[in-house]
Structure 1
Amino acid sequence: MIINRYLIREIGKPLAAILGILVALFASYSAAGFLSEAVNGLLPIDTVAEMIGLKVLISLEVLIPISLYISVVLAFGRLYGDSEFTAMFALRITPARVMGAVVSLSGCLAIVVACLSLGARPWAYDKLHELSRHAELTLDVNAMEAGTFYVGQHGRRVIFVTHRDGPASPAQDVFVQVWHEDHTEIVHAQLAYPLSQTTPNGGREIYLTDAHIYELGHDDDHPDRALSAQGIVINPDSRDPAPPEYSSVAASSAELARSDSARDIAELQWRLSTPLSTLLLGMLGIPLSRARPRQGKYEKFGTAILVYSGYYLLCTSARTWVQHGVVAAFPGIWWAPALLAAFLAFSLAGPALGMKYRRSRA
């Protein structure tokens, strides 16, 4: 038990550091896009932190396996380089005992990843899509700048401001186009500024002066109309949100299991493969970290990164092929983990087989 705790602790220290760094990097990358949309008025600033958190939660199913894999390579590379494994094997600590410690840690993390993939992932995607739909309907008009087209609701709404002195100041020469099912509404006003009170959905109504409103019908049942007003109040967020479209990534795992759609099958197999990949990658770190005493501790790090990159590319490619029907539901994406398992078996048994072969030749 002392040896097991020691090995797990040696893996756990770099695991926590690497996972923390990867999460911070991914959160920063996600924040860059969300903050730019918030600055441009396309995304309410109060939802940015929530959306970043959801993106990080979704990414954990990938970040945890790679963090575990790198941690095993780094920790065991150090133990090999400092001859600690040589001392352990001399004290009759078998390689199977070492493998058992890694498998126990990898198994626990695989259970965590399974919960994230099968439960947290669809919930996070559903919540993220809900926030995105709400953001499309709610504009931060105070943050709008002149000279920029603000397009929302999948192109159904366009707003352009010709001149504005700064945030919260009146806008001059304003153009608004809103697409409805039966007509297109175009509004042009000389002056516009947001009212102080907020709407029920958190947006702001806008007061327009010297406004011209045109309704262009899409068929003969809806004739074209024009209206001019010295002053009028409009709500650019007044459109009801469109019904949410079905998305495989946001569907529950039980719903995916009942579906025969190629996209649903690929998504379910991806969710089931992530805990398996976690276990296999944790075990693969052992043979890839092997080094001679006093050999460079991080000499195998580059090889380990190349192996993981190749495996991740295979998994994502296999998932895409299943989604588009290029590969059937069976073997689906399972051939990628099968290749990794075969590579793991060869890496574990290769040195012993090579030594046995050399002995037979001698």
Structure 2
Amino acid sequence: MIFRRSLATELANSVGGVFTVLFSIVLTVGLVRILGRAAGGRVDSSVVFELLIYTGLTNLPVLLALALFIAVLMVMMRSWQDSEMYVWFSSGGLSLLAWIRPVLRFTLPLVALVAALSVTVSPWSKDQIERITTEFRQRDDVNRIAPGRFIETMGGRRVFFIEEVNEGGTHVKNVFVSEHKDGREVIVEAERGEIKTNELGDRYIVLTNGRRYETGVDDKADWRVMDFGTYELLLEVKADGGYGSRRVDAMPFEELWSMNTPIADAQILWRLSWPLAAINLVLLAIPLSFVNPRAGRSLSLVIAVLVFILYLNGITMAQAWVKARTMSWQEGLLIVNGAVFALTALLFVRRVWLQRWLPLWLTELPYKLLGERR
């Protein structure tokens, strides 16, 4: 009982600390990326915090599985390094296998959470990110502009700058527009402008008191300058098509299940792999945590990181094979996770029943043969 309570307490503290660090790193990287997109006019600055939350939810399955792996590994490594494991083995009559049950008792609820996050929450978050970015792309040029900043539109072919916009968003001041059109570069500047809508529903901006510059097709140094009293410029209007075709990684699981396509099967493999990966990693951490008390923990940590990277690459490779119709998603799920489970079983056999990879009599056989020959 004391053994289980102490282990559960240490695991809870370790999981909380490791997950906090990993989640903070992901949020920081995500915030920098989202702020960069907002500064470039690719997303609305008012939804930065919302996008950050969805980005964090998207990465939760991988982060939680990794946090469980590192937490169990750190707790077990500390027990080895402090010689607590030898006390349990000698006085308590416990073997390394006795750690499986209490570790799984603590981690299985979190593994169920990983499954829910991977199957439901993560794709829903990606769908919300896609919805926000799609709605922003469907706005016209002026509605996407923040006063005082240069914003690219029309795939970079047009650059807008508006110094001031009124509260209603219909009147603007000090407008600058640069556009590449039919091999020419057109620059328009005006003191003010008004946004209007015609009978067909197309929006355009009427600029007043400005000047238009245009280069030639062959000679870029040949500029033509025209002063104008009024100048109408059609805005980029996106058809209101809702989401359009959603990405596979943002679709609900039941929709993926009914598609029966290689891309959908690869996504099913990805989502179902993470709860299995969480169980495998937790079990793998038990025999992998062995540390000589007189040695450091660096080697075990490096091996653990390499194992996780290889596991992640294995899942990604299985996805690619499923997309290429080389195997089914069931085969990919079994091969990748089965290989890691087999490695875990092999390490348990090594630590529990074998003091060395080869039996003692086999390692001493060459010396005996040499002695007899002498």
TM over 0.5: yes
Which residue does 1:277 correspond to in 2?
277
- Alignment partner, residue 328 of structure 2: 328
Name the SS for the 2:250 alignment partner. Answer: coil
- Match status 1:174 vs 2:177: yes
* SS, match of residue 295 in structure 1: coil
* Residues in 2 aligned to 1:67 and 1:255: alpha-carbon distance in whole angstroms: 30
- Percent of aligned pairs with the same residue? 21
Give CA deviations for 1:247-268 in whole Å, capped at 9, x if unaligned.
2111111111122100101111
Which has more radius of gyration? Answer: 2
The C-alpha deviation readout for 1:254-285, integer Å capped at 9, x for no partner, is 11112210010111121111101001101111
1:27-42 to structure 2, matched below 5 A, reads 27-42=27-42
Distance in 2 of aligned mates of 1:131 and 1:82: 51
Match of 1:239? 238
Contact 2:248 2:256 in 1 (8 A): yes
In the TM superposition, residue 287 of structure 1 has moved relative to its aligned partner by 0.7
Aligned residues: 328
Q: Partner of 2:134 in structure 1?
A: 133
Structure 1, residues 203-232: CA drift from partner, whole Å, max 9, x if none?
x9855226899xxxxxxxxxxxxxx98446
Cα drift, residue 96 of structure 1:
3.0
1:151 alignment counterpart: 153
Matches within 5 A, 1:140-289: 140-143=144-147, 145-146=149-150, 150-151=152-153, 155=155, 158-161=157-160, 170-175=173-178, 189-191=188-190, 208-209=207-208, 230-231=229-230, 236=235, 238-243=237-242, 244-289=244-289
Shift in CA distance, 73/55, structure 1 to aligned 2, threshold 3 Å: same
Give the whole-Å Cα distance in 2 for the aligned partners of 1:8 and 1:237. Answer: 59
Query: Cα deviations across residues 37-62 of structure 1 (Å, max 9, x unaligned)?
Result: 21233321111111111111010110
Q: Determine the structure 2 residue equivalent to 1:96.
A: 97
Greater relative contact order (Cα < 8 A, sep 6+) = 1
Counterpart AA for 1:136: R
Q: CA separation in 2, counterparts of 1:79 and 1:46?
A: 49
For residues 93-122 of structure 1, the C-alpha deviation after alignment (integer angstroms, 9 at most, x for no partner) is: 443331111112221111001110111122
Deviation of the 1:170 alpha carbon: 4.1
Give the whole-Å Cα distance in 2 for the aligned partners of 1:328 and 1:14: 37
SS of residue in 2 equivalent to 1:348 = helix
Do structure 1's residue 82 and structure 2's residue 85 form an aligned pair?
A: no
* CA distance in 2: counterparts of 1:194 and 1:239, whole angstroms: 21
Counterpart contact for 1:82–1:293, Cα < 8 Å: yes
Contact persistence 1:141–1:194 (CA under 8 A): no
> In the TM superposition, what whole-angstrom CA distance separates every residue of 1:54-104 from its partner, at most 9, and x where no partner exists?
111010110111111111111111111001122222222443331111112
Asked if the contact 1:41/1:144 (under 8 Å) is kept, the reply is no
Per the alignment, residue 225 of structure 1 pairs with none
Report SS of the residue matched to 1:208: strand
**Alignment match, 2:122:** 121
Deviation, 1:8, is 2.0
Per-residue CA distance 1:121-178 (angstroms, 9 max, x = gap): 22111111100101213454234645x6x135xx3x84224x77x6768445414589
Cα distance, 1:133–1:283 mapped onto 2, change above 3 Å: same
Q: For the residues of structure 1 that align with 2:288 and 2:44, how far apart are their CA atoms?
A: 47
Mapped pair 1:48 → 2:48: yes
Residue type of the alignment partner of 2:177: V
With over 3 angstroms needed to count, the CA separation of the structure-2 counterparts of 1:104 and 1:141, relative to structure 1, is same
Whether contact under 8 Å (1:83, 1:294) holds in the other structure is no
What amino acid is the match of 1:324?
Answer: A
CA separation of 1:145 and 1:88: change in aligned 2, threshold 3 A: same
TM-score, length basis structure 2 = 0.77
Quote the Cα distance in structure 2 between the aligned partners of 1:2 and 1:205: 74
